[in-house]
Amino acid sequence: MTLLVFGKSGQVARELQARAAVTALGRDEADLTNPDACAAAICKVAPSAVINAAAYTAVDQAETEEDIATVINGDAPAAMAQACADMEIPFVHISTDYVFAGDGGTPWQPGDPVAPPNAYGRSKLVGEDAVRAAGGTHAILRTSWVVSAHGKNFVKTMLRLGTERDKLTIVADQVGGPTAAGDIAEACLAIVAQLRDDPSKTGTYHFSGAPDVSWADFAREIFAQAGLSCIVEDIPTSDFPTPAKRPANSRLDCTATEAVFSIRRPDWRRSLTRILTEIEDQT
């Protein structure tokens, strides 16, 4: 199977390349600000399946760059999905819990009403709608709180700050499932293989680490596993204002993913151990 991946240096894209023989396209090979070029790349490679692991992810910056965020997160996936539909090949698109309002305390189900609280979420929703509208075999995989040993993410930020300071104030009223990029990559590969065999599994699914946790408690576990003595003080979101509104409830109901694809929610604490080992090996 020839698997084409959009994205090369991002967290999930790097993990996909580490786990499978894929053709990964970076920005120099497939500019997501040019949706037609993305479709042309699919036609040129003529893959057996496509995974879109590329996105505009600067959540706060998107508040002032919603137009470009929408091209990258909405128009580009639309072009990819249409090309895949025309070629009758599966398309897996990674999305986010930010398409939901982020209120309440119940895990979001795939069919729940969407109401993005910020520009980033709106741009991702445009992409989701376009992927469905293309009418091809696809899986939209919503995930949350992505972390890895690569790039910029919460784990790496906490490790840096935890060595510099004795105490940190961390938001405790936002709850979700930290998800290792490596676990997302493995889920995408399993989903692609199953979609090829059974296109009826087309749909929207959720995938996140378990158990659900606050950012503050996530930080405590990072420090505990890393052997750092930094103290975490809980604060409300109101004490940490950001340009883009963050959801208080990022919990995702992943039961459909397990039922359809036999993919269970991974324990993020075990995944964190692997990430910390990888980071240590890099030094």
Write the DSSP string, 32-51.
Answer: TT-HHHHHHHHHHH--SEEE
Structure tokens at 80: 């990819």
**Closest CA relative to residue 263, chosen from 177, 180, 194:** 194
CA separation, residue 174 to residues 57, 121, 178, 191 (Å): 19, 16, 12, 29
Torsion of CA 264, 49, 59, 107, to 10 degrees: -30
Q: Which residues contact 13 (CB under 8 A, 6 or more apart)?
A: 5, 6, 7, 24, 53, 54
Residue with tokens 């709850």: 175
Annotated catalytic residue: which of 56, 98, 120, 205?
Answer: 120
120 is catalytic: yes
Q: Which residues contact 133 (CB under 8 A, 6 or more apart)?
A: 78, 81
Q: How many CB atoms lie within 10 A of CB 203?
A: 15
Cα within 13 Å of Cα(131), Cβ side: 28
Structure tokens at 221: 């576990």
Amino acid occupying residue 236: P
Structure tokens at 157: 């930020």
Instruction: Write out the catalytic residue numbers.
Output: 120
